[in-house]
């Protein structure tokens, strides 16, 4: 696993997050949406916290050699990371795990999620727009302050959000009119093959999508799977993929402390995930 000391070249304070840009050309070329990096979140002379923090990457640009981390400073060590001055060299390794798998014939991509894995969807949105896809992003959080701001996304992305917690995410996915969409931003860009019009609230985005990429925590797997089953007559393999937030103590597959139960038996979040086919989970 490659280790890096990457200089912090930009830091932007947001209402609920801090956006960090790191100069890491080799890593920027290697990363795929849905993968994580393991970041040491302590001074060199300190072992507190001892374990690295696994962060979903919010963006990677080969042309500039930069990667972006959207840090919510709620976990031990993350306030230290978010407060580092420009020029600080951060100790990290990656890419860790399996990312999202985009099918060659996908033209309409639905992204939906809540919680710590949401940065993976921001990365996926940028990547998909660069490929000429039509993209719709649905995010739910506990408040407006916890939602990723629209400027983190390309303007071509249709962005709908809810500020009433994770339960509302599945209302948005199903297109239910009672879902409290608090913000809508963005416009659609024509893809190489003209996509169907992006659905409005009241029409299920699942019927429009060629694939759906999700950002979830494990307690939401069952409801996510049921929502997809209800909204689709056919649910082919890899149509729905989920980036699962959760413990990643080592990120190397050696501690076996990140098990995920699937229909094919126990898997490791750091080696077999963190992105899984939702059919294997729910």
CATH 2.40.30.10 in the chain is located at 3-96
Fold of 108-281: Rossmann fold (3.40.50)
* 10-residue mean pLDDT series, the chain (282 residues): 94 95 98 98 91 98 98 94 97 98 98 98 98 97 92 96 88 72 42 50 81 97 94 91 96 95 95 97 88
Tell me: the pLDDT tens digits for 98-115? 999 999 999 999 999 999
Q: What is the pLDDT of residue 233?
A: 80
- C-alpha distances out from residue 263 to 260, 268, 282, Å: 10, 13, 8
Q: Is 131 exposed, middle or buried (0-12, 13-18, 19+ CB in 10 A)?
A: middle
Fold of 3-96: Elongation Factor Tu (Ef-tu); domain 3 (2.40.30)
Please give the full DSSP string across the chain, using - where no structure is assigned: --EEEEEEEEEEE-SS-EEEEEE-HHHHHH--TT-EEEE--S-TT--SS-S-EEEEEEEEETTTTEEEEEE-TTSTTHHHHHTPPTTPEEEEEEEESB-----TT--EEEEEE-STTHHHHHHHHHHHHHTT-EEEEEEE-SSGGGSPPGGGS-TTSEEEEESS-THHHHHHHHT-TTS-EEEEE------SSPPPPPPPTTS-HHHH-SEEEEEEEGGGHHHHHHHHHHH-S---TTSEEEEEE---SSSSSSS---EEEETTEEEETTTT-BEEEHHHH-
């Amino acid at each position: 696993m490659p280790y890096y000391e990457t200089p912090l070249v930009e830091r932007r304070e947001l209402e609920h997050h801090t956006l960090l840009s790191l100069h890491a050309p080799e890593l920027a070329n290697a990363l795929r949406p849905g993968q994580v990096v393991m970041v040491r979140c302590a001074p060199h002379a300190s072992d507190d916290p001892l374990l690295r923090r696994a962060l979903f990457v919010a963006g990677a640009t080969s042309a500039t050699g930069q990667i972006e981390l959207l840090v919510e400073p709620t976990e031990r060590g993350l306030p230290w990371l978010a407060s580092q001055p420009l020029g600080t060299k951060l100790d990290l390794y990656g890419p860790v795990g399996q990312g999202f798998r985009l099918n060659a014939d996908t033209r309409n991509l639905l992204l939906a999620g809540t919680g710590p894995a949401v940065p993976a969807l921001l990365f996926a949105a940028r990547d998909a727009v660069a490929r000429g896809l039509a993209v719709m992003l649905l995010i739910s959080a506990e408040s407006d302050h916890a939602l990723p701001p629209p400027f983190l996304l390309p303007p071509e992305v249709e962005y709908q959000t809810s500020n009433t917690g994770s339960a509302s995410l599945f209302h948005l996915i199903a297109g239910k009119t009672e879902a409290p969409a608090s913000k809508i931003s963005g416009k659609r860009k024509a893809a190489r093959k003209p996509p169907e019009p992006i659905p409005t609230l009241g029409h299920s985005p699942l019927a429009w999508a060629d694939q759906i990429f999700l950002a979830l925590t494990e307690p939401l797997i069952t409801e996510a799977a049921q929502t997809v089953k209800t909204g689709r007559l056919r649910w082919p393999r890899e149509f729905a993929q989920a980036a699962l937030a959760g413990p990643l103590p080592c990120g190397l597959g050696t501690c076996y402390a990140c098990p995920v139960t699937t229909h094919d038996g126990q898997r490791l979040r750091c080696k077999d995930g963190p992105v899984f086919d939702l059919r294997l989970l729910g």
